[in-house]
Amino acid sequence: MKKSELYRKCLNVLGVFEDNPDQNSVRRAYIDLVKKVHPDSGQPEASAEKFQEIDEAFKILQERFAKNRRGIFEDDEEVDAKIFDIRHTAPQHRQYLSFEGMGVGNPFQREKQYQQIKAMKAQERVLSHRIEKSQADEKSIMKKGSFYKNHAIKTKYGFDRVEKI
């Protein structure tokens, strides 16, 4: 169905038969119809299905008026049916994508648990690094007197200082 046909159908549902109706005439027609067909109105024409149809038609027309106000004019192309897919809708589990999926509860509780887990992992890594560093192998055992040889630096900054006489 083309967009112009869709808009014409929406206008027919609301009972507006003008060629170029303005937003106020559409709004007045919507309010008059809603008062008659609203399920809680107590009128003999009251119907939930008819109310939903009128409401949907009004929303489509309101969207069209809003686009026209902003200067967004649409081509008269085919209207695609909305296909709800995981690529097009926000995933409902988005809140669990943060904090590496760790923790339970609301986001604040999960953040606290994540910080605790992160601190524990850091502590474990520091401890394992210290253990690896302290373990002596054959080449790292110091010989007597080698400490002073390592620190016997004769020149500073790689050149000798020359003093004027």
If you average pLDDT over every residue of the chain, what do you get? 79
In this model, does residue 84 exceed pLDDT 60?
A: no
| Cα(23)–Cα(70) distance, integer angstroms | 14
Using the predicted structure, report yes or no on whether residue 67 has a pLDDT greater than 90.
no
**What's the pTM value of the predicted model, to 2 decimals?**
0.45
**pLDDT tens digit string along 103-143?**
788 888 888 999 999 999 999 999 999 888 877 666 666 56
At 21-57, the pLDDT tens digits run 888 999 999 999 999 999 888 888 888 899 999 999 9
Q: What angle do CA 82, 84, 88 make, to 5 degrees?
A: 100
CA distance 113 to 123: 15
